Amino acid sequence: MKTSRGQKVAWGFLILLSVSALLAPWLPIADFRAMNADARLTPPQWIAAPVLGTDAEGRDLLARVLWGARISLAVGFFGTLVAMLIGIPYGALAGFLGGRWDRVQMRFADALESIPMVVFVLFLLSILQEYRADLAVIGFGRLQLFFLAVGVLFWLPTARVARAEALRLRKQPFVQAAIAGGMKRSAILWRHILPNMLPALRVMLLLTVPRVILMEAFLSFLGLGVEPPAVSWGGLANDGLAAMNPLVDSIWLMLVPSIALGLTLLALQKIANNPED
């Protein structure tokens, strides 16, 4: 498949951002948690440190943006993985079995989809918080619980796409031949339905990642996301908004994380589009 120039640029940006975020602990940048009262609200210097300025506590904004990318990209990846692991089997089973089973499953999905997103995430976090001590034993902290909650939120669109593909594939001659030949339903689902759903699910994957990242940024902006000292782009934008006032021009505190988020979402959207677009 031909790759457009815009997609190459998008891939290059995402790879550079991901590598920089992954190597942030070893890069020659300041500690993202280090406060410096003498350097509070230093504007961007562009060619000298601090390149992107400092926040209201004197912390280097470049370091905080790179560390924030670690959280935002991790939420996008792991949240989407959770959504796929739940939504694909659920939707494929509903579409393949059809009939009453399909109606019951999709009515349940409709009921969940009617719940406002923020309320749903808060509900999930509150439930997971009850078992936080037990989950901590197996390595699940607040951050991992947030990944899980956001991922569970996005399994419904994935399930609908998987169901639609299963309904289409169920009518195909090779599936009908397998049914007529007496093959078990589980074998048909595993050998014929799921492998042929991959092209549609690939597109769904690429569309879900930016939605998950945006939802994480939105929740963190509202103060419902990751807890300090962890930092994400939404949390940085929230900190920037809190530091802004009519007496001090500190617009970069809002612009820098917002631009990082916007460019990442734009790159992901460009990759999800067809090369001909």
Top-ranked range on mean pLDDT: pick from 23-27, 120-124, 190-194, 227-231: 23-27
Q: For 143-200, write each residue's pLDDT tens digit.
A: 677 777 777 778 888 888 888 888 888 888 888 888 787 778 778 888 888 888 888 8
Written in H, E and C, the secondary structure of 5-57 is HHHHHHHHHHHHHHHHHHCHHHCCCCCCCCCCHHHCCCCCCCCCCCCCCECCC
What does the mean pLDDT of the chain come to?
81
Q: What is the pLDDT of residue 2?
A: 62
The CA distance from 42 to 48, in Å, is: 12
Percent of the chain with pLDDT over 90: 7
Q: What is the pTM of this model?
A: 0.81
Placement of tokens 């959770």 in the chain: 82
Higher-scoring residue by pLDDT: 226, 83:
83
Which among 78, 66, 121 is positioned nearest to 236, based on CA atoms?
A: 66
Chain segment 170-180, per-residue pLDDT in tens: 888 888 888 78
Name the pLDDT band for 211 (thresholds 50, 70, 90).
confident
Is it the case that residue 1 has pLDDT exceeding 70?
no
Residue 131, pLDDT above cutoff 80: no
User: Do 231 and 216 meet the contact criterion of CB atoms below 8 Å apart?
Assistant: no
State residue 263's pLDDT score: 92
The CATH superfamily assigned to 5-28+53-272 is MetI-like (1.10.3720.10)
pLDDT of 261 reads 92
**If pLDDT is split at 50, 70 and 90, which confidence band does 276 have?**
very low
The pLDDT tens digits for 243-270 are 777 666 778 888 889 999 999 999 988 8
pLDDT at 275 over 50: no
- Neighbouring residues of 59: CB distance < 8 A, sequence distance ≥ 6: 30, 32, 33, 34, 35, 36
